[in-house]
Amino acid sequence: MVTDDENAHRQQLADVRTAIDEIDEEMVALMARRERLVRIAGTLKEDAAAVRSPQRVEQVISTVRSLAVESKVSPEVVEATYRSMIEAFIELELKVQRSSF
């Protein structure tokens, strides 16, 4: 027999998952926007070094870590997420850059 507390717990978990799914939709929409800009940037850069731009990567990481602290979210999680995302976008941008020159 399922208790009222167990039902409440299950419902709460379902609600949290629904909220997470909604956030994922928003994040994918933002990533699509970011990709459109990355593709434009890829056509404007002359070589792979300009695409990779380690100093720009570190600038972005520093900024998002600061934003994470302000938002009271783990800066380590934000940094790891951004490093992974940036690397994927760099690979995409390299393909765009190579095809535009």
pLDDT in tens, 46-73: 899 999 999 999 999 999 999 999 999 9
CA distance linking residue 37 with residue 65, whole number of Å: 22
CATH number at 90 reads 1.20.59.10
Q: What are phi and psi of 47, to 5 degrees?
A: -155, 175
Q: Output phi, psi for 62, to 5 deg.
A: -60, -45
Q: Which single residue is written with the structure tokens 């941008």? A: 93
Supply angle C-alpha 14, 71, 63, rounded to 5: 125
Tell me the CA distances in angstroms from 33 to 20, 42, 69, 72, 95, one per residue in order. 20, 14, 24, 25, 18
Predicted pLDDT at 101 = 64
For the entire predicted model, the pTM comes to 0.87
Range(s) of the domain holding residue 80: 4-100
What number of H helices and E strands is found in the chain? 4, 0
Q: Each residue of 7-59: pLDDT tens digit?
A: 999 999 999 999 999 999 999 999 999 999 999 999 999 899 999 999 999 99
Could you give the number of structural domains in the chain?
1
Dihedral pair phi/psi, residue 2, rounded to 5°: -90, 130
Percentage with pLDDT > 90 across the chain: 90
